Structure 1
Amino acid sequence: MLSRILQPHSTYNAILALRLTYILFYIFSFLSNGNFDVVEARVFIYAGCSQDKYQPSSPFESNLNSFLASAVSGASQAIYNSYALGNDSSSPPDAAIFGLYQCRGDLRTSDCSRCIESAVSQIGLVCPYSYGAALQLESCYVRYEHVDFLGKLDTGLMYKKCSKSVSSDVEFFRRRDDVLADLQAATGFRVSSSGLVEGFSQCLGDLSSADCSSCLEDAVGKLKNLCGSAEAADVFLEQCYARYWASGYYDSPTDSSNEDQIGKTVAIIVGVVAGLAVIIVLLSFCRKALGKNPIFFSFLGHATIPFL
């Protein structure tokens, strides 16, 4: 259902580019402090937005804000929770919101809280005024909708990434299939390894054990069918995901389809940021050479900053 309801709207790429710019600054900041794990946890994977929009200051917006605040607060206590707000008979019919958040099963609650806080801060920028939205970061996920989706199995494909192929490594395929068979048998979060092949899988907490098994079976099938002999592959369905990689290859998987535009967007933004840095240096030299006052710029609507 989500893959049909939550579709990119006309401003999605522009908003995503803006958000990714902020993410780049987060990454630079965290890397300078050596916080590699925290940065990785907040890496953007995908997002989806509904076409239908709510009105500012509406009852739905009030309930949405309550849900997002509850998700941030709840993530400091538990890695999963679901919510239903405004769905009682006394509330307006357009006020109902159903939502959940979930962190990867091996995340500490402190890291989970930071990841969900990052996701919540992004979802409104990526999907402004949307009646439904989902945002997946590397280690956490946030979703809300106007209709009740909780506990209802849906295995629509949301995202896939496949690395380069390994065409004739029989041992690799044997190890990979062992890992995938183990991941498929999970009922929540599971990590598996066989030789140099590793992987993990997870279902959303609102699924029953039987539905989780069905979802993971579908995810593993798509890993094999869509990514073939890839050395590393990720498949995210609407309510579960499965990933595997050969040791040493997972750091640089590339998408085998034309559907993933995130890497291109990041490359463009990196180029823009690098270009801005060059311009700033040149302007600084010009200022010093000409003896002018500091030059001020306004970047993305923020307070102006002097470049000395």
Structure 2
Amino acid sequence: MSRTLQGDSSYRIILVWRLSSLLILFSSVVSVHGYPSRAHMFIYAVCSQEKYQPNSPFEGNLNSFLSSVVSSSSEVTYNSFAIGNGSSTPQEGNVYGLYQCRGDLHPIECSKCVGRSVNQIGLVCPYALGASLQLEGCLIRYEHAGDFLGKLDTSLRYKKCSKGVTSDVEFFRRRDDVLADLQTANGFRVSSSGLVEGFAQCLGDLSISDCSSCLSDAVGKLKTLCGSAAAADVFLGQCYARYWASGYYDESDSSNNDQVGKSVAIIVGVFGGLAVLVVLLSICKKAAGK
């Protein structure tokens, strides 16, 4: 009998936590145009098709990983984890993951950003065996296998291009100066030339040579995919590069790809709000029937 009561109590705690997370996500999506903090803005998410079972060893290790991520992010801006590897846990329960904050974020802001990611990743990618969530200021990723750690990945995850600048020779010269500087970054770098600014970053598990290769690919994609854009962002599997002209960074006339990320966040937020409403109505109905 006591075990049943403990199980019910644990279930209610988990339910309350998930409902709270849904409300947090919903409220953050509703205020997206207010940009209370750019670091918390949704960029993209990638979710595996494979799912894990509730109450499985994988779920337990995933919760341990997410908890470790939150506590670590208040001290360092990058860290990687292997949960369950080498223990008595069955191999199918292993969780490998990492997080990284933008290099210019204060530890307090880094921790807040990672905490927001942890609240969202299970809602955006429910029961996914692997997932990545990129916010403006931080990335969180986990997988069932650890072969992605330290391995160069230049696959395109997201791009955003503003309106083009067709005849400003000075702008293109300044832009190319910034991109050439960013391409030589080792980790995180900010660069500027005249009214053009930019920054780039590699994941902390990349070697210097792989970081250089990744950023070279990112800069190449900025030019080929966004052409004459006055502002552009390209996120690859393990690095990103961005530039903008003064006054263009916050432009709303971005590519359709930008709207995809926002649409995903809005859809999740709306369904989250509806889920909360359905649960509350169900509770009220049961209470009225007693």
Same fold (TM over 0.5): yes
Is 1:22 equivalent to 2:21 in the alignment?
no
**Contact 1:202–1:242 (CA under 8 A) maintained in structure 2:** yes
Normalising by structure 1, we get a TM-score of 0.77
Give the drift of 1:93. Answer: 1.7
Match of 2:112 in 1: 114
**Contact 2:230–2:248 (CA under 8 A) maintained in structure 1:** yes
**Contact 2:160–2:257 (CA under 8 A) maintained in structure 1:** no
Match of 1:55 in 2: 53
Q: Which amino acid aligns with 2:27?
A: Y
Give the drift of 1:39. Answer: 1.8
Alpha-carbon displacement from aligned partner over 1:211-265 (angstroms, at most 9, x marks no partner): 0000000000000000000000000000000000000111115343568423456
Distance in 2 of aligned mates of 1:201 and 1:298: 38
Match of 2:91 in 1: 93
Gaps of 5+ in 2: 1-21, 282-290
Cα distance 1:50–1:89, how it changes in 2: closer, same or farther (>3 A)? same
Is 1:163 equivalent to 2:162 in the alignment?
yes
Identity of aligned residues (%): 64
Distance in 2 of aligned mates of 1:249 and 1:96: 44
**Contact 1:75–1:113 (CA under 8 A) maintained in structure 2:** yes
Cα distance 1:169–1:101, how it changes in 2: closer, same or farther (>3 A)? same
Match of 1:183 in 2: 182
The alignment partner of 1:211 has SS state of: helix
**Contact 1:234–1:243 (CA under 8 A) maintained in structure 2:** yes
The alignment partner of 2:28 has SS state of: helix
Matches within 5 A, 1:77-226: 77-88=75-86, 90-148=88-146, 149-226=148-225
Which stretch shifts more, 17-26 or 122-131?
17-26
**Contact 2:158–2:257 (CA under 8 A) maintained in structure 1:** no
The alignment partner of 2:92 has SS state of: coil
**Contact 2:196–2:244 (CA under 8 A) maintained in structure 1:** yes
The alignment partner of 1:94 has SS state of: helix
Distance in 2 of aligned mates of 1:259 and 1:196: 24
Match of 2:72 in 1: 74
Cα distance 1:203–1:247, how it changes in 2: closer, same or farther (>3 A)? same
Distance in 2 of aligned mates of 1:259 and 1:137: 13
Cα distance 1:210–1:258, how it changes in 2: closer, same or farther (>3 A)? closer
Give the drift of 1:26. Answer: 5.7
Cα distance 1:258–1:186, how it changes in 2: closer, same or farther (>3 A)? closer
**Contact 2:45–2:261 (CA under 8 A) maintained in structure 1:** no
Match of 2:5 in 1: none
Distance in 2 of aligned mates of 1:68 and 1:268: 24
The alignment partner of 1:159 has SS state of: strand
Give the drift of 1:21. Answer: 3.2
Alpha-carbon displacement from aligned partner over 1:77-126 (angstroms, at most 9, x marks no partner): 11110001112163312011110000000000000000000000000001
Distance in 2 of aligned mates of 1:262 and 1:135: 11
Gaps of 5+ in 1: 1-16, 273-296
**Contact 1:81–1:101 (CA under 8 A) maintained in structure 2:** yes
Give the drift of 1:300. Answer: 3.6
The alignment partner of 2:132 has SS state of: strand
Distance in 1 of aligned mates of 2:96 and 2:268: 34
The alignment partner of 2:54 has SS state of: coil
Give the drift of 1:23. Answer: 1.8
Q: Which amino acid aligns with 1:166?
A: V
Structure number with higher helix proportion: 2
Distance in 2 of aligned mates of 1:25 and 1:259: 17
Distance in 2 of aligned mates of 1:121 and 1:265: 15
The count of residues paired between Structure 1 and Structure 2 equals: 256
Distance in 1 of aligned mates of 2:46 and 2:78: 20
Match of 2:250 in 1: 251
Alpha-carbon displacement from aligned partner over 1:258-279 (angstroms, at most 9, x marks no partner): 6842345678899x9xxxxxxx
Give the drift of 1:150. Answer: 0.6
Distance in 1 of aligned mates of 2:134 and 2:257: 19
Indicate the structure whose relative CO is greater, using CA pairs within 8 Å and at least 6 residues apart: 2
